Amino acid sequence: MQLEDYFDFLAPNDIRIKNHRIGLEEVLYEFIHRARTPEEIRQRFPTLTLEDIYAAITYYLHNKQAMDAYITDWLEYCNRAEREQELNPPPIVQKLRQAKAAIARGEAPPKIDPSELQDQIIYLSSF
């Protein structure tokens, strides 16, 4: 089995562990930035085998320059998305923030229509 056989290369910026929705970057982030051992990573992603995790780490070590760029791009994308979300939160987040502020002021929080929650749950589950 070739090392690449452990992954699905969906796009240049989207490499997944084979037969999983877990991105290579998620495993590598735990390993590189959080200094997690393969066993600790396995606890974080229980559907992965240790073989999958070791394959991800080995792939990183064999392609360090490209993988460093891949992870840097992913982190920049995450930071941009987080800033965008802060600037333009979904309506339900705005309402929850309003409710939290009202409670902090000792006021009754505004009512939230349950149908709005359902719409937001459907929206958020599409990611």
Verify that 44 and 20 share a domain, yes or no: yes
Q: Calculate Rg over the CA atoms of the chain.
A: 20
Asked if the model's pLDDT at residue 16 lies above 80, the reply is: yes
Q: Which residues pair with 9 in a beta bridge?
A: 15
For residues 111 and 102, give the distance between their C-alpha atoms in angstroms, rounded to a whole number: 11
Q: What is the CATH number of the domain that holds 76?
A: 1.10.10.10
> What's the rounded mean pLDDT across residues 109-126?
69
Question: What's the CA dihedral at 55, 57, 59, 61 to 10 degrees?
Answer: -150
Q: What percent of the chain has pLDDT over 70?
A: 91
The beta strand positions in 31-102, using DSSP E, are none
Q: Which two tokens stand for residue 1?
A: 């089995």
Name residue, tokens 């709005």: 116
**Whether residue 80 is found in the same domain as residue 30:** yes
The pLDDT of residue 120: 65
Q: Are residues 18 and 80 in the same domain?
A: yes
Which residue segment(s) compose the domain that 116 sits in? 89-125
Checking if the pLDDT of 124 tops 90, the result is no
The answer on 104 and 53 residing in a single domain is: no
Shared-domain flag, residues 17 and 58: yes
Both 22 and 69 in one domain: the answer is yes
Query: Is the domain of 26 the same as that of 65?
Result: yes
100-127 average pLDDT score: 75
- How far apart CA 30 and CA 56 sit, in angstroms, is 11
Give the total number of structural domains in the chain: 2
Round to whole Å and give the CA distance between 3 and 62: 10
Judge if 72 and 100 occupy the same domain. Answer: no
